[in-house]
């Protein structure tokens, strides 16, 4: 289905038509977007939502844990990569018992790695375990991203988003539900603009040591120097997807130019010129092998978008 976009002149930000999306994803795969918009501000997003009609809208953050189809994405793609980057100074308070706490307000486009380091500068603990997550805060909220036993939803205090009718809405944590790698909103339609995180005051040196250790281990165990998918599969109960795949000897398995990483079996790497078809076929092969050998049905964590 083809769409027309007579309202694009009303956008103040950057508008690109038939833009190849591969460069905007961590695995460097993906066909063209009908329209890729880098909004300048909230008003641009409201303009898009007002005029889009039946046109689908896809939100693109840092492009991690994302596989865009070879034929691209129809409709409008909104990239938040260059906006909603503000982080406010923490507001400290003390409850009746325990250490001081603080609330940090940050835009949806802020990288999780930067947010964790920002919190550490104020001796705030609670998200140092998330320093290795490559995506943005908005994406981390949607996916309830986590690491080292800590999930984004655990420290979330509120989320501000723009609804499909253009209204600004703030939801408290109690209005949301959190599952493994998924946050459930009362209404699924909406674009996250910013969020508040509630953290506890801790020992700055311990926080920094934790981040240093995790970043060092990440560099040693993940294929960070080549285009990669991020985590492909959710961890099955009582095990990790990476260990399970490795135990079956699937490291290095390839389809076309996509391969299971030698460094980490839950990552798929683009060896050069890989297609979404290659990756999807590789995912299916892994799922089939794991199911046949162990009885476990691996569920994908990576988001597939487009055609």
Structure tokens at 82: 């260059």
Exactly one of 26, 181, 196, 198 is catalytic; which is it? Answer: 181
Three-class SS of residue 243?
helix
Residue 192, C-beta contacts closer than 8 angstroms, at least 6 positions apart = 108, 137, 138, 141, 142, 159, 160, 161
Round to whole Å and give the CA distance between 88 and 107. 9
Exactly one of 19, 128, 194, 301 is catalytic; which is it? Answer: 301
Q: DSSP letter string over 38-88?
A: E-SSHHHHHHHHHH-TT--EEEESS-TTEEE-TT-EEEEEEE-TTS---BP
Is 168:96 a contact under the CB 8 Å cutoff?
Answer: no
Q: What is the chain's Cα-based Rg?
A: 20
Exactly one of 79, 229, 231, 261 is catalytic; which is it? Answer: 231
Active site residue 231: yes
Instruction: Give the active site residues.
Output: 181, 231, 301
């Amino acid at each position: 289905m083809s769409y027309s976009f007579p309202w694009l002149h009303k956008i103040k930000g950057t508008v690109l038509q038939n833009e190849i999306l591969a460069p905007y994803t961590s695995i460097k795969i993906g066909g063209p977007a009908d329209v890729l918009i880098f909004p300048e501000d909230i008003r641009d997003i409201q303009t898009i939502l007002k005029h889009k009609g039946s046109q689908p809208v896809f939100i693109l953050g840092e492009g991690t844990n994302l596989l865009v189809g070879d034929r691209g994405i129809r409709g409008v793609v909104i990239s938040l990569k260059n906006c909603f980057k503000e982080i406010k100074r923490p507001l400290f308070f003390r409850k009746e018992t325990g250490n001081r706490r603080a609330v940090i307000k940050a835009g949806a486009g802020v990288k999780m790695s930067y947010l964790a380091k920002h919190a550490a500068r104020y001796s705030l603990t609670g998200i140092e375990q998330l320093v290795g997550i490559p995506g943005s805060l908005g994406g981390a909220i949607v996916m309830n991203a986590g690491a080292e036993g800590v999930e984004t939803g655990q420290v979330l205090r509120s989320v501000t988003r723009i609804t499909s009718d253009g209204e600004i809405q703030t939801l408290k944590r109690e209005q949301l539900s959190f599952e493994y790698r998924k946050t459930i909103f009362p209404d699924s339609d909406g674009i996250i603009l910013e969020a508040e995180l509630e953290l506890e005051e801790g020992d700055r040196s311990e926080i920094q040591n934790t981040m240093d250790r995790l970043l060092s281990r990440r560099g040693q165990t993940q294929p960070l120097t080549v285009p990669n998918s991020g985590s492909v599969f959710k961890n099955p109960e009582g095990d990790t997807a990476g260990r399970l795949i490795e135990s079956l000897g699937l490291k290095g398995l390839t389809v076309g130019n996509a391969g299971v990483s030698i460094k980490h079996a839950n990552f798929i790497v683009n060896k050069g010129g890989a297609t979404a078809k290659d990756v999807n076929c590789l995912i299916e092969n892994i799922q089939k092998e794991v199911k046949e050998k162990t009885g476990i049905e691996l569920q994908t964590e990576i988001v597939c978008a487009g055609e």
